[in-house]
A and B are shown apart, each in its own frame.
Chain A
Amino acid sequence: EAGVVQSPRYKIIEKKQPVAFWCNPISGHNTLYWYRQNLGQGPELLIRYENEEAVDDSQLPKDRFSAERLKGVDSTLKIQPAELGDSAVYLCASSLESGRARETQYFGPGTRLLVL
């Protein structure tokens, strides 16, 4: 079974440029998560999708970050414009479902972003 796929694996951009990350969750997983992980820290949730609906985006900086999950399958996270402080690893995870039947999250390898 294929795991969570993310691309690109690495991205270097100059500040004020836009950047986009793509995630394809495990087939059949309804719930998709985007996390940001700063160096030496644990992942912090940015947004959670149940199918195509964003159900938890309170930590997403909405002035510059946007996300979508069309058709409830793969997802894109965008930053426009990027700032120096956005340098981090962006992790995507998926699970069968979240909610009261707690499910294990499966993480992708992440996209390492460096903003210069």
Chain B
Amino acid sequence: SQQGEEDPQALSIQEGENATMNCSYKTSINNLQWYRQNSGRGLVHLILIRSNEREKHSGRLRVTLDTSKKSSSLLITASRAADTASYFCATDEGGSYIPTFGRGTSLIVHP
């Protein structure tokens, strides 16, 4: 079963624009993670945000978490063509500490 669900399923933007992806989940979590997957390659960890945190930054990435709404967003600022990839959120269903992945958002950044 998939806990996190990303929205939108696909996003197409121009280089330099910001990209926002959302993740909603169903049960309580200990933490939420965002991963990136380039075509035909493994997943790369981007950011982990804990349930008691509301916002985290890493370079051009900004992640927010709203536990009351059971949702998170990933913002990529000043996007680049190299940001083209699928982005997944992974949540741990309360207590398991094993991440459950959503279906991902496919991001295309046009140069």
Which residues of A are interface residues toward B (Cβ below 8 A)?
4, 40-45, 48, 56, 91, 93, 98-100, 102, 104-110, 112
Smallest CB gap from A6: residue in B: B42
B41–A110 CB distance below 8 A: yes
> CB-CB < 8 A to A44: which residues of B?
2, 101
B98–A104 CB distance below 8 A: no
Stretch at the interface among B13-21, B43-51, B59-67, B72-80: B43-51
Q: What is the minimal beta-carbon distance from A95 to any residue of chain B, in angstroms?
A: 10
Select which of A93, A100, A102, A112 is within 8 A of B48 by beta carbon: A102
> CB-CB < 8 A to A56: which residues of B?
98
Report the separation of the CA atoms of residues A44 and B88 in the bound assembly, to the nearest whole angstrom.
12
Task: Name B1-39 residues within 8 Å CB distance of A.
Answer: 2, 4, 30-31, 33, 35
Q: What is the minimal beta-carbon distance from A16 to any residue of chain B, in angstroms?
A: 27
Report the separation of the CA atoms of residues A100 and B92 in the bound assembly, to the nearest whole angstrom.
11
Report the separation of the CA atoms of residues A102 and B41 in the bound assembly, to the nearest whole angstrom.
24
